[in-house]
Amino acid sequence: MKTRGGQDPFAGREPRPPRPRPGGWLAIALAAALGVLGGVGLFTLGYGNGLSYLTDDPTACINCHLMQDPFDAWVKSSHRGVAGCNDCHLPHDPVGKWLIKADNGFFHALAFTTGDFHEPLQIRPRNRRVTQAACLHCHRPFVDHMLPAEPGDQALLCVHCHSDVGHALRR
């Protein structure tokens, strides 16, 4: 740039270094935080055999030491040859299955990481409804006459009488 006199007012001056943008450090801090969280998440996923939970293999459930007894009971149960963990503990529709699997995975990981869980484990009300629906999915022809006639009427849960079916000897 030249002035009216034809001289450059900045001639002979050192150019100033560019000023950092106001959000530059914030962006770097955010990227570092996301990197740390992502790294911890990947480590946890590997350490906890997280990808095994995406399968239907019942042995994935014993990655957690608290599930060894329920797994051993299932091995002795009448359902071992016909139903695995996911058959009874997840909905049978694909969307519901993955939603409940994700929900349970997050809350199980949170509970076991923080140590905030009841021992022995107790099933949550929503998961109790899932197991009831799973019982009816397979056994409806045999129990249809015992179900409520009107929508909204209450019926006993299958596990009220059959508490040891999926996990033998757990009374």
pTM over 0.85: no
Question: Does the pLDDT at position 95 exceed 90?
Answer: yes
Dihedral pair phi/psi, residue 54, rounded to 5°: -85, 0
Distance CA 131, CA 125 (A): 10
Across the chain, what does the average pLDDT equal?
82
Q: Please tell me the least confidently modeled range out of 86-95, 131-140, 152-161.
A: 152-161
- Give the residue from 30, 152, 138 showing the smallest Cα distance to 84: 138
Q: Please tell me the least confidently modeled range out of 25-34, 125-134, 158-167.
A: 158-167
Tokens for 76, please give them.
């002795």
Question: Does the pLDDT at position 156 exceed 60?
Answer: yes
Distance CA 86, CA 89 (A): 5
Q: Please tell me the least confidently modeled range out of 72-76, 77-81, 150-154.
A: 150-154
Tokens for 100, please give them.
């409940």
Matching residue, tokens 């409940």? 100
Domain boundaries, the chain: 23-54, 58-161
Q: Which residues contact 149 (CB under 8 A, 6 or more apart)?
A: none
Q: 58-161 in CATH: which number?
A: 1.10.3820.10
Question: Does the pLDDT at position 5 exceed 80?
Answer: no
